[in-house]
Amino acid sequence: MNEPAIELQRVSKVYGSPPDQVRALTEVDLTVRYGELVAIMGPSGSGKSTLLTIAGSLEEPSEGKVLVGGIDLAKASRNDRAKMRRRLIGYVFQDFNLLPGLTVAENVALPLELDGTGARAARSISLKALDRLGLSERADRYPDQLSGGERQRVAIARAVVGDRRILLTDEPTGALDSVNGEAVMRMLRTACREGVAGVMVTHDSQLASWADRVVFIRDGRVVDQTIPPPGADSLLSGGKPSGGRQ
């Protein structure tokens, strides 16, 4: 079994102060390992996006412990946390956030350059990431020359460029149609097969079904999860899904 990439231990998050306190998360335990894609599902306001921002160290928990890449975030300095965010974690949100004046390869190289990598080395790493994810033919195009699906795939390549091994996504297929959405999910799966730990927040069960594990969150608590699916071959003989705990 691979090493844990993200560990949330009894994490709670409360916004505001009494009497207008809002409890977004309550005692959440969650471990995501390298090479694993985990989907977080729940209705609006259930706390799933808060869970993602805390896992990505964009927010601090009110209680509990968060370890990213084995580092206890509470014990890391502000600078160390910022460095870890830049070097270890990639974020992909609904909007593609690609810079229109830069080519695909330059967009992907940008986080490396911002982190001090020389332009030539950054381009070389960027091209490798694009190649690994089947986008090398698009390297010298500009974002407005790409389809919506391709732009989102470039955003994923940028999120996992270099040594970043943790990918956090919030509704990564946004408003894409189902064909383009599926291409994005195939790419996410490829990245995870290459060892990236992926966490995807979604309300879409078709997207969630690409994950190795689906965690259900409700009223700020993790209430249930799927077990790794049995071999798909059992569908051919009319096999039933696993039963729950009775």
Partner 1 sequence: MSIRHALLSLLGEGPKYGLRLREEFEQRTGELWPLNVGQVYTSLQRLERDGLIESDVEETVDGRSSQKRFRLTGAGRDELADWLRAPSGVTPPPRDELVIKVMVASTVPGIDVHEVLQVHRRHVVETMQRYTALKSRADEDDVGLALVVDAELFRLDAAYRWLEKADALLSRSGAPGYDVTTHGTPQGGAARDVAGTT
Q: How far is the CB of 91 from partner 1 (least distance, A)?
A: 22
Would you say 77 or 246 has its CB closer to partner 1?
246
DSSP secondary structure code for residue 44 in this structure: T
Which residues contact residue 40 at a Cβ distance below 8 angstroms, ignoring those fewer than 6 apart?
Answer: 48, 51, 52, 199, 200, 201, 202, 214, 215, 217
Q: How many residues bind partner 1 (CB under 8 A)?
A: 42
For partner 1, the closer of residues 105 and 191 by Cβ is 191
Taking the chain, what is the end-to-end CA distance rounded to the nearest angstrom?
A: 28
| Dist CA 230 CA 124 (whole Å) | 40
Give the residue among 117, 199, 202 at the shortest CA–CA distance from 161.
Answer: 117
Show the beta-strand stretches assigned E in the chain.
4-15, 22-33, 37-41, 63-68, 71-72, 89-92, 166-170, 197-202, 213-218, 221-225
Which of 6, 24, 30, 135 lies at the binding interface for partner 1 (CB under 8 A)?
A: 30
Site string for partner 1, 36-75 (x = CB under 8 A): -----x-x--------------------------------
236 makes contact with partner 1 (CB under 8 A):
yes
Pick the closer one to partner 1 by CB: 97 or 225. Answer: 225
State in angstroms the smallest separation of the CB of 80 from partner 1.
26
Name residue 148's amino acid: G
Establish if 12 lies at the interface with partner 1 (CB under 8 A): no
Within residues 176-235, the interface with partner 1 by CB under 8 A covers 186, 189, 204-206, 208-211, 214-216, 218-227, 229-232, 234-235
Minimum distance from residue 121 beta carbon to partner 1 (Å): 34
Closest by Cα among 41, 32, 35 to 67: 32
> Do strands 221-225 and 213-218 pair parallel, antiparallel, or not at all (unpaired)?
antiparallel
The site for partner 1 (CB under 8 A) is made up of 26, 29-31, 33, 41, 43, 186, 189, 204-206, 208-211, 214-216, 218-227, 229-232, 234-237, 241-242, 244-246
